[in-house]
Amino acid sequence: MKIGSIEIPSPFVVAPMAGMTDTAFRRLVKRRGGCGLVVTEMVSSEGLVRGIDRTLEYAEYTEEERPVSIQIFGGDPPKMAAAARIVQDMGADIVDVNMGCPVPKIAKHNAGCSLMREPEHAARVVEAMVEAVKIPVTVKMRAGWNDKDRNAPMLARMVQEAGASAVTIHGRTAEQSYTGSADWELVGRVARDLRIPVFGSGDCVEPEQVIEKMKVGVNGVLVGRGVLRNPWILAQAADIAAGRPPRVVTLRERGEFLLDYIDLLLEQRDNEKEGFRHVAPGAEQKSVKASGHERWVINKLRALCAWYSKGLDSGSHLRVAVNSAESVSQLRRIVDEFFMTMPATV
């Protein structure tokens, strides 16, 4: 399948998740296989244009992740067009617009899901971006703002006409946030209606669910929280799609994932080949290592383990232990003890 001119080798995608799906995490998921596309955490168009936002690092990606989509948020068409140009200059394959974030801090600035409340304006944002860049522009939206206004089918059509190359729908409304369940019937309806690729998102925790959701007629599925619990889920979905039983992941392999994540976070920017890491203009000088790098790594592991520990036997013990770790060496010891001393599989 292709998004614009970009070949997507598998329909299974790592969903963007602010604070979670950083470049190190995405690389590790990608190495496990089955992953056709990764999307960065959302980054502010305003920040990209001004080149001084503290969240510019969210736009960072590495060559290992291609094809890669950088997701931006904002509501001002000229600014979104300028930000899309920066994303293109960073060498990204795709630029994605966030029309799904329900967080008031974002939504009140006429960005994120509040764009769904003004469909004409949302289409103008897409149009301005499409005019500004050669790379594909895609949109990620929700089912609608609230239950009274589930307008994704209409807006998806409008952004297609505005030149979008693909659309993703998370089948919940902004008002639902993460409660209830995603409406895959609506997602399927949009998929049948549009000529551009349509992706669905929501509630795939097991690889079998990813395959099941494909049957509504989407071109692909973005997996969010499921990939934080189980970074092999895309590879396992690819196994099932190929007629194989999904691969079994040992406890030791799950532990190794966390140790690799620690290493990638600690070593990022060390001994990397020229051109391997792409950063937003203005973020070049900034190195988290300058201050509190170890603390940052510990916090990253805490955030991941809140999800990763779900579904593991004694997962709450792991969570409590990781939350009390005060150094990286302590973290490594905790992971070692939890995962490496038991031969069981999960």
Ligand X SMILES: Cc1cc2nc3c(=O)[nH]c(=O)nc-3n(C[C@H](O)[C@H](O)[C@H](O)COP(=O)(O)O)c2cc1C
Among 3, 6, 13, 15, binds ligand X (CB under 6 A): 15
User: Rule CB under 6 A: which of 252-281 touch ligand X?
Assistant: none
Piece of the chain touching ligand X by CB under 6 A; list 144-152, 212-220, 222-230, 328-336: 222-230
Whose Cβ is closer to ligand X: residue 61's or residue 338's? Answer: 61
Which residues are paired to 14 by β-bridges? Answer: 38, 223
Q: 18, 22, 17: which is closest to 62 by C-alpha? A: 22
Q: Based on the shown chain and the rule CB under 6 A, indicate whether residue 170 belongs to the binding site for ligand X.
A: yes
Among 3, 42, 107, 318, binds ligand X (CB under 6 A): 42
Catalytic residue from among 101, 113, 204, 305: 101
Q: Based on the shown chain and the rule CB under 6 A, indicate whether residue 16 belongs to the binding site for ligand X.
A: yes
Q: Based on the shown chain and the rule CB under 6 A, indicate whether residue 22 belongs to the binding site for ligand X.
A: no
Q: Based on the shown chain and the rule CB under 6 A, indicate whether residue 95 belongs to the binding site for ligand X.
A: no
Whose Cβ is closer to ligand X: residue 71's or residue 268's? Answer: 71
Among 84, 139, 204, 325, binds ligand X (CB under 6 A): 204
Residue nearest to ligand X (CB): 224
Q: Based on the shown chain and the rule CB under 6 A, indicate whether residue 202 belongs to the binding site for ligand X.
A: yes
Q: Based on the shown chain and the rule CB under 6 A, indicate whether residue 65 belongs to the binding site for ligand X.
A: no
Count of residues of this chain found to bind ligand X when the rule CB under 6 A is applied:
23
Q: Based on the shown chain and the rule CB under 6 A, indicate whether residue 224 belongs to the binding site for ligand X.
A: yes
Tokens 């609230």 identify what position?
A: 146
Let me know if 113 is a catalytic residue.
no
CB of 340 to ligand X, least distance (A): 28
Among 3, 8, 13, 20, binds ligand X (CB under 6 A): 20
Q: Based on the shown chain and the rule CB under 6 A, indicate whether residue 57 belongs to the binding site for ligand X.
A: no
Q: Based on the shown chain and the rule CB under 6 A, indicate whether residue 225 belongs to the binding site for ligand X.
A: yes
User: Rule CB under 6 A: which of 102-141 touch ligand X?
Assistant: 140
Distance CA 194, CA 214 (A): 16
CB of 108 to ligand X, least distance (A): 17
Binding site for ligand X (CB under 6 A): 15-20, 41-42, 71, 98, 100-101, 140, 170, 201-204, 222-226
- The residues carrying an active-site annotation are 101
